Amino acid sequence: MPGSIRMVRDKDTWELRVYVGRDESGRVRHRHATFHGSKREAERALARLVAEVDATRTSTAASAPRAWGGQTTINDAITGWQANGWDDLSPSTTRRYQSIWATHIKGSIGRRRIATLSPYDVEQYFRELKTKGLSEASVRQARAMLHRACRLAKKWSGGVLPNPVADTELPAWRLDEKVEIRAPELCEVQALLGAAEDEDVRLGAFMRLLAATGMRRGEACALRWSDVDADNGVVTVDESIVSAQGRAAVKAPKTRASIRKLACDPRTMQILDQLRGEQESLAEAADESLAPGAFVFSFEPGGQVPPHPDSLSHGLTRLRKKAGLPVDIHLHSLRHFHATALDPVISEAQKQARLGWSTVQMARHYTDGVAAEDRRAAEHIGVLLG
């Protein structure tokens, strides 16, 4: 159980802090205590507090159903999952699952006992969600959550409980019922980049990089100056930014496929170089320095704080209105544009590697340079964007 101490006010007063888990909204919670005495005594007090919290947490976890059997409900299974495994999820996944549970599961199928549910009942529930207007993606996420909870309940019950979700199928969505993310036209992307360049050098560079490389929003937010190889026209993607407790947090990529080196066209590298000059001037004005590990798109002098992904999304909304573009264009649309534009230029395998998809069966993590196909992809996109 992690804990920490720090001195407050004077040398004999200490703040003790112990991590106790996450609340229902996914926020991290700590238990705090103040101790008066020497540092060694404070460390002993911290150890006692850690043991006390650990015992309390074990007792709380034990309140989740342990007699897994005929009376266990879907809500019981999800509560058990929260106490044993929920912390392994990323903050964004936790928030999404919490929202799905509270909105679509807890007050309906969540009250049903797992032993009484059949695949027919579960599929009927999925159709009810569709009738209410939920998208295919949302219903698919609800199914994934139910399947995981019931699979865990089956395991914890020693096979006594069934998993009624395992063999279920989702309803079919007709093409006119699906909300598809379309790839923007080249003229739309160029209009967006023009509006971004006119408004702000940081926003202009960010939009250009997404369109030129197909990066995910969080990957671009995590880019550091040490990841930019201006001499060879290459950027390295090995981190991502997620929203955690309302703040931007750095995390490792989910799969090895997401770690990659990307060739960039000369114009994109020139725009990044212009941004670096702006960032260095901003740091100097604040009596700071721009370290190699500074975040490229940081709003803070010195670049030590990564940008929040939502702030860049809000920026696109502003630019979209300014350029008179349709509302179905957002940051992820630039990734779709990039993927579509590369279809006639490089192989499908190389496109998958460039975009960081985990389904490609080839070497995705370059260590000794960039594949010739990837360089050709960068040059092609650079010509298109101008």
**Model pLDDT for residues 44-93, shown as the tens digit of each residue:** 787 788 777 766 655 554 444 557 888 899 999 999 998 888 877 777 78
Instruction: Give residue 365's pLDDT.
Output: 33
pLDDT mean over 237-255: 77
Q: Do residues 85 and 139 both lie within one domain?
A: yes
Q: Do residues 210 and 99 both lie within one domain?
A: no
Instruction: Give residue 9's pLDDT.
Output: 63
Instruction: Give residue 267's pLDDT.
Output: 95
Q: Do residues 143 and 30 both lie within one domain?
A: no
pLDDT band for position 196 (cuts 50, 70, 90): very high
What is the CATH classification number for the domain harbouring 121? Answer: 1.10.150.130
3-state SS, residue 91? helix
What is the CATH classification number for the domain harbouring 194? Answer: 1.10.443.10
Q: Do residues 102 and 33 both lie within one domain?
A: no
Over residues 294-347, the pLDDT tens digits come to 999 999 889 898 988 888 888 888 999 999 999 888 888 899 888 888 888 888
By CB neighbour count within 10 A (0-12 exposed, 13-18 middle, 19+ buried), where does 345 fall?
A: middle
pLDDT mean over 137-162: 92
Q: pLDDT: is 182 or 320 the higher one?
A: 320
Closest CA to 296 of 317, 328, 320, 268: 268
Q: Residue 372 is encoded by which pair of tokens?
A: 């010739």
Amino acid identity of 177? E
pLDDT higher than 70, residue 42: yes
Closest CA to 298 of 195, 193, 222, 199: 222
The model's pTM is 0.60
pLDDT mean over 132-136: 84
Angle at 18 between CA 13 and CA 24, to 5 degrees: 135
Over residues 278-293, the pLDDT tens digits come to 999 988 888 888 988 9
Angle at 383 between CA 379 and CA 386, to 5 degrees: 130
CB 384 within 8 A of CB 345: no
Angle between helices 309-323 and 201-213 (to 10 degrees): 90
Instruction: Give residue 59's pLDDT.
Output: 52
3-state SS, residue 104? helix
Q: Is residue 80 part of a domain?
A: yes
Instruction: Give residue 362's pLDDT.
Output: 37
Instruction: Answer with the one of 123, 142, 177 that is the final residue of a domain.
Output: 177
Instruction: Answer with the one of 141, 160, 177 that is the final residue of a domain.
Output: 177
Long-range Cβ contact pairs of 347-352 (< 8 A, separation 24 or more):
347/373, 350/374, 350/377, 351/377, 352/257
Q: pLDDT: is 381 or 270 the higher one?
A: 270
Compute the distance between CA of residue 384 and CA of residue 37 in angstroms, rounded to an integer: 68
pLDDT higher than 60, residue 377: yes
In residues, how long is the chain? Answer: 386
Count structural domains, the chain: 3
Domain encompassing residue 157: 74-177
Q: Is residue 69 part of a domain?
A: no
Q: Is residue 68 part of a domain?
A: no
**Strand locations in the chain (E):** 3-7, 13-22, 28-36, 228-229, 234-237, 240-244, 247-251, 260-263
Instruction: Give residue 53's pLDDT.
Output: 72
